[in-house]
Structure 1
């Protein structure tokens, strides 16, 4: 089976023909090894060296050099807003305490649709309205539900 062992970030200069695209929600964009089928019917095996969060616009590189475009699927999210910048920061703090993926925009925060969190936000004076859009949560410790460890050697020097 055709394999994609590497990928290019959306801002990379890519040489190769884009032959298909895969439309994946946030959960399905955190992968290492899985059989995929493009929208156009191209079947291939994603076979990366490590589990990676694929972003909207990334390109999967097939063994033969052809490319498959990664597109973030539209999902139902909660758009959380507040009456002031300070109030929004307070809401972000409360959401962060729940250790859930969140996308922080300039004047709103987006999380997966959850009626319990929507009620919490409204109880704290914010708004939480369902919207349909791709989900691009912040990376880091809670990306995809997997921790990100930083290694330190015996001298305390930091290594990623």
Structure 2
């Protein structure tokens, strides 16, 4: 049996055939077998995501199946930390510290969201940040070269500076 394929992503559509709820990591994909959330009748739609390039699927995107049906992407709430500074300059300094550790971060004018990490929490609190645990969809900034900046281990490469 051949699975239907989703080869494109669309914004703005009518009623979807189904939804699929994914965390941020699972929303950054190019090609993989996926299964929708359960429909009212208890069934699911199994399909192949087959996009031309990897991309972050956003809440509300529609995966267009080759038979015309649309699967709506929903961003799953994740355990995050919401970081706030005492003022804009302090928040900017906190953002620099987070960026220096190559952490995926969602940034607004008033706060930064990160995946929960007790070591990073302690560092940020030590720098005067207010840190609150929340559950929310995670939509980190895209990377400098057009993609989502995935976390990586510093032992995997040399980039000319130390994180000690």
Q: Same fold (TM over 0.5)?
A: yes
Report the Cα distance in structure 2 between the residues aligned to 1:44 and 1:86, rounded to whole angstroms: 47
SS of equivalent residue, structure 2 residue 95: helix
Decide which of 137, 141, 156 is 1:138's aligned counterpart.
141
Greater fraction strand: 1
The residue number in structure 2 matching 1:36 is 34
Task: Flag structure 1 segments of 5+ consecutive residues without an equivalent.
Answer: 147-160
Report the number of matched residues.
142
- On the 8 A contact 2:30/2:49 being kept in 1, the answer is yes
Q: TM-score, normalised by structure 2?
A: 0.82
The residue number in structure 2 matching 1:157 is none
Listed one character per residue, the Cα deviations across residues 28-72 of structure 1 (whole Å, up to 9, x for unaligned) are 011111111111211111111111111111110000111010011
- On the 8 A contact 1:17/1:66 being kept in 2, the answer is no
Q: TM-score, normalised by structure 1?
A: 0.84
SS of equivalent residue, structure 1 residue 87: helix
Listed one character per residue, the Cα deviations across residues 108-157 of structure 1 (whole Å, up to 9, x for unaligned) are 100010111101100100011110000011112361529xxxxxxxxxxx
Structure 1 residue 127 corresponds to structure 2 residue 125? no
1:1-160 equivalent positions in 2, closer than 5 A: 1-8=3-10, 10=11, 13-14=12-13, 17-40=15-38, 41-141=44-144, 143-145=148-150
SS of equivalent residue, structure 1 residue 94: helix
Task: Flag structure 2 segments of 5+ consecutive residues without an equivalent.
Answer: 39-43, 152-164
